[in-house]
Amino acid sequence: MFNFTPLAGAQSESSASQSLLELDGGVKVLIDVGWDETFDVEKLRNLEKHVPTISIVLLTHATVAHLAAYAHCCKHFPLFTRIPIYATTPVISLGRTLLQDLYASTPLASTIIPSSLLSETSYSYSKPGSGEDDSHILLQSPTHEEIANYFSLIHPLKYSQPHQPLPSPFSPPLNGLTITAYNAGHTLGGTIWHIQHGLESIVYAVDWNQARENILAGAAWLGGAGAGGAEVIEQLRKPTALICSSKGAERIALAGGRTKRDEALLDMIKSAIVKGGTVLIPTDSSARVLELAYLLEHAWRKDASNPESPFQNANLYLCSKNIGATMRYTRSMLEWMDDGIIREFEAIAGGIDRQPNKPSEPRQAGAGPFDFKHVRLVEKKGGVSAILNNDTTRDGKPMAKVILASDRSLDWGFSKDVLRNIAADSRNLVILTEKMSQLPDAGRSSGISRMLWSWWDERKDGVALEQGSTGENLEQVYGGGRELTLTDVKREALEGNELLSYQQWLATQRQLQTITQPGGATALDTSADAVDDASSVSSSDSEESETEQQGKALNISTALGQAGRKKMGLSDEDLGINILLRRKGVHDYDVRGKKGREKMFPLVIRRRRADEFGDLIRPEEYLRAEEREEAEGQDSRQSGKYDTQDTLGKKRRWDDVVSKADRRPSNSTNKRQQTGFNDSGDTPAINDGGFANGVFDEDAIEDEVDVVGPAKAIFSTESITVNLRLAFVDFEGLHDKRSLHMLIPLIQPRKLILVSGLKDETLALALDCRRLLGAQIGGGGDKQVDVYTPEVGTTIDASVDTNAWAVKLTHSLVKQLRWQKVKGLGIVTLSGRLAAALPSSTEITDRGEGNANKKQKIEADKDSEEVPDSESKALQTIPEPEKASMPVLDTLPTSMASATRSVAQPLHVGDLRLADLRKIMLSAGYTAEFRGEGTLLIDGCVAVRKLGTGAIEVESAGIGQTGIPQQRNTFYAVKMKIYEGLAVVAGG
């Protein structure tokens, strides 16, 4: 069984991706927890309903559309952190920096609490003067540390590594579920998931790119980079169901490929630099930005020695609030990139090693692929203002600027601030790198990037045509002085009645969670602990239900017994018995007149972890002395990273200066930022005070202080006049129409499900796939491949089409079976006699006397015990509806066995590939070459053709009595090799 439900992003303008796969036995797999730039919590309601039944979660890309809601789910859905989550290492690392940048850049990511929910709990307080509908109270956003903890729960996987995951504690057994990650291109660590469960072989491929890029290899359909295969690899070929994205189904690839695309972007930038303008390229902060940053950095390196190059008069900046950590992770994951990046790094490392006469020196700054020499990293808003206000160089010449800024939506991040500053100048240029679609919500803004895209698409105010270096025309659309409305969102601390209303709402919500899902909002557990909890909770529920659960619904201290109480400003009455843990200096509590947990000290006793082999083994308890010292050294270095106070025996760095006032050493990280260098120590960074070369005073601009604690969103609007020019270069890195039409027939899925795209392109691709797959099957076209185009929330049944029935085998028949393994499955042919189902009260005669004696002994033991009459009747008559309705297959009588043995023929299982047959024949000493289309010619006399799935034609001339013996030998040798390549299951 296989049911598929798209929870978001199917036939929709929203870019969010959420998919739910339900397999046999109640196993549910959630793939992606995406969001869009609206950050509407209502779009997560469908996901929240399924959280208590999800078995595992898989993540595909480190983008907003695929995991932006991950931290929200971990913080606000109590059971979500107990579900095992799997992703590749780059998705984990880059996803962490993406969400840290997201929550630091826009308050809307915290999501606004609906006013209707607040009104239900705050009826006792007076409403604000402006009306309650105007108060946009925010949920508590996760901190940087919490986001890091959430991503530490994810299990990392490598490409092509089959893995059998652990189920969640509330999931049924997975029954051999196997997941395998393959390269999807598009982003670093992007994944195509292959899911094997019984007879179901499912390939989930959303947002992939077959084309090779500067730092990313193509998708693994044909074997990956450098494989040069003409067929899809065996692991991804002929799945029972292929789930594919339809985004870009109508996109036509640019002639000339990656080279033309890169040249078009550089020519656009040069045209603006020559005019002395500023170029803004809005992009994401963790995925596609790597491709753009690498391209621009190496373009500046290439022209560094050319004084006539326009790049000599322009500075290159990369602006994002967490870009330093993103680049630090990127430098450590070169093995996940294209082979060209690895060769570049090895060449640099090899050049350094080949210097025997020189002393050991550090590697030259900026020599590596991502050791930037020209790209300057900007992480603070004051730094962005500094570079925008600096219009001239030291020599008084106009200074052009090229700014890569997050986010691509232009609704939040530094890209919005840059746009506000450069919109009025016609020399400036905004280069869009992705196509945008309009949101259907009429009552809400469609987004800045969507508006700019519509202007570029309309070309209402004229187009400027310039000639590039390759002779191609560069199209730049004029802004035409249009008015663009910018909506700014700021965070403001709650006060007065709003704070009281928020606290009461929070208490009510946590009380409901505690009642309905006890233990769901506790501290984060690893997936292994979660699995152990599942086995221990069931055995202790009945024992602790009367004591532990007593008074839960009435005690507000129990309702508030969750993480993060210190930040809520709760009173002593609200904390209750937990005041002994939460308040310093409190050592006594009056329990007179209290009930339930209010009379017990709030001590949480962790259950003893055990598995089927005994106590759970903790590897850290078996470390050798040197391994323990190394681990402790790593912990001390990590803890000292944020430690600002001296401790006894702690070593200080030479550059740590102790002030006389408080005797605290300066933080090395802050020291590095103040000196104007990023984490790599090579590229000058921009701080709040300005440039590293001393043009601006570092103390001139103060850093903004974020609001901590309960807050609300304050909206303000501003209209700007847009006179700049708009351009578009496709750097989205997704499949196009040609790739989809070429690869889907090669994959040969039995069922095709199209998601993640607009309605028009989804339906158009479905029509094309029905035609392509129907023609590829052949045989008169009577067999069609099912193509599904579900909408959001619609469940479709895409189970594999099999003629299978469940029967019960007798022991005598099982002893005669000879199983043969084929692709992990056991196959056997048999002939038997099908009998009707036996009554549950009778026993099958071939169980033997031993089983009968054991049964009599058990019944005698039961009779000797003193049990009530009703209970003894329940023990004696156990209903077995499934066994009663299951037919029995037994051995054939001797009179029929000889007749059926002559009818049964051997069964050949498998599929022959002509390329594999060619290799086999060449290794056996024969000549084999392809002639024509789909014909293999062996020794010039035997032709092998593959007519379709399971249909092979072997043709030769002169194999009769008068034929040449060599030809006859070749013919029979070819047939023998074909049979050897298939699994032969003997009949009988």
For tokens 């994205």, name the residue: 245
Cis peptide preceding 688, ω within 30 of 0: no
pLDDT digits (tens, 9 = 90+) for 768-786: 999 888 766 544 444 678 8
pLDDT at 510: 75
CA distance 777 to 771: 10
CA distance 839 to 851: 18
Indicate whether 131 pLDDT > 70: no
List of residues 6+ apart from 83 with CB closer than 8 A: 30, 51, 54, 55, 56, 57, 168, 527, 530
**Strand pairing report for 711-722 and 482-493:** antiparallel
pLDDT digits (tens, 9 = 90+) for 383-392: 898 888 877 6
Q: Tokens at residue 869, please?
A: 């009459």
pLDDT at 589: 85
Which region among 81-95, 450-464, 544-558, 892-906 has the lowest average model confidence (pLDDT)?
Answer: 544-558
pLDDT at 38: 87
pLDDT digits (tens, 9 = 90+) for 459-485: 888 899 888 887 888 899 999 899 999
For all residues of the chain together, what is the average pLDDT? 77
CA distance 653 to 669: 12
**Strand pairing report for 27-31 and 751-755:** unpaired
Amino acid at 200: E
pLDDT digits (tens, 9 = 90+) for 587-622: 888 888 787 777 788 776 666 667 777 877 777 778
For 717-750, letters b (16+ CB in 10 Å) and e give eeeeebbbbbbbbbbbbbbbbebbeebbbebbbb
pLDDT at 636: 47
Indicate whether 884 pLDDT > 80: no
Question: What domains does the chain contain, in order, with CATH numbers?
Answer: 2-115+138-251+734-797 (3.60.15.10), 257-354+363-490+678-728 (3.40.50.10890), 521-614 (no CATH), 805-842+882-902 (no CATH), 907-985 (no CATH)
Split at pLDDT 50, 70, 90, the class of 959 is low
Indicate whether 205 pLDDT > 60: yes
Indicate whether 487 pLDDT > 70: yes
Which region among 159-173, 716-730, 841-855 has the lowest average model confidence (pLDDT)?
Answer: 841-855
Distance of CA 947 to the CA centre of its chain: 40
Query: Can you list the alpha helix ranges (DSSP code H) found in 429-576?
Result: 448-458, 496-516, 527-544, 556-559, 572-575
CA distance 970 to 988: 31
List of residues 6+ apart from 574 with CB closer than 8 A: 507, 556, 557, 560
Q: What are the two backbone dihedrals, phi and then psi, of residue 26, each rounded to the nearest 5 degrees?
A: 80, 15
pLDDT at 671: 38
CA distance 410 to 427: 20
pTM given for the model: 0.73
pLDDT at 163: 94
List of residues 6+ apart from 572 with CB closer than 8 A: 579, 583
CA distance 510 to 514: 6
Q: What percent of the chain has pLDDT over 70?
A: 70
Confirm if 593 and 612 have CB atoms less than 8 A apart: no
pLDDT at 253: 82
Average pLDDT over residues 950-958: 78
pLDDT digits (tens, 9 = 90+) for 872-883: 333 333 344 444
In 3-state terms the chain splits into helix, strand, coil percentages (rounded to 5) of: 35, 20, 45
